[in-house]
């Protein structure tokens, strides 16, 4: 018998763990595959959708927009609850951009949009 052909204790332990994991998957499968309840139907067209009770009468949750017009740009400062959330700068010539305060609120980050998702470069390498 060759040394690689004989069974070892670790080999049987690995098979036991694999069997245990497989059995756990069969037991947990039906629990995880339960169907979620259906969402409520949408309101009919033209019907007014009520706001949440907490946001309906709270003026602190409404955004406060201050517009500052200058000769070369227009700034829109948006505050919610008195805290500055972002500034939209629209230059006289050029594309608008946003200034978003960082975590400590002392400096601003310039962004082209308020979208925070990852942007993957999509360069055109070849075209014909």
CA distance 75 to 96: 10
pLDDT at 55: 52
Say if pTM beats, i.e. exceeds, 0.95. no
Tell me the CB-side half-sphere exposure of residue 22, using CA atoms within 13 A.
Answer: 6
pLDDT at 77: 94
Instruction: List the chain residues with pLDDT less than 70.
Output: 1-34, 46-60
pLDDT at 100: 92
pLDDT at 72: 94
The sign of the CA dihedral 8, 10, 11, 13 is positive
Tell me the CB-side half-sphere exposure of residue 121, using CA atoms within 13 A.
Answer: 3
pLDDT at 39: 77
pLDDT at 104: 84
């Amino acid at each position: 018998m060759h040394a690689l052909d004989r069974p070892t204790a670790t080999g049987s332990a690995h098979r036991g763990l694999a069997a245990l994991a497989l059995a756990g998957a069969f037991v947990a499968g039906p629990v995880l595959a339960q169907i979620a309840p259906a969402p409520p139907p949408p309101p009919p067209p033209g019907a007014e959708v009520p706001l949440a009770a907490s946001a309906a009468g709270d003026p602190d949750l409404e955004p406060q927009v201050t517009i500052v017009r200058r000769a070369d740009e227009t700034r829109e400062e948006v505050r919610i609850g008195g805290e500055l959330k972002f500034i939209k700068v629209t230059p006289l010539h050029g594309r608008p951009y946003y200034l978003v305060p960082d975590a400590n609120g002392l400096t601003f980050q310039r962004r082209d949009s308020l979208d925070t998702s990852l942007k993957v470069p999509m360069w055109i390498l070849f075209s014909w």
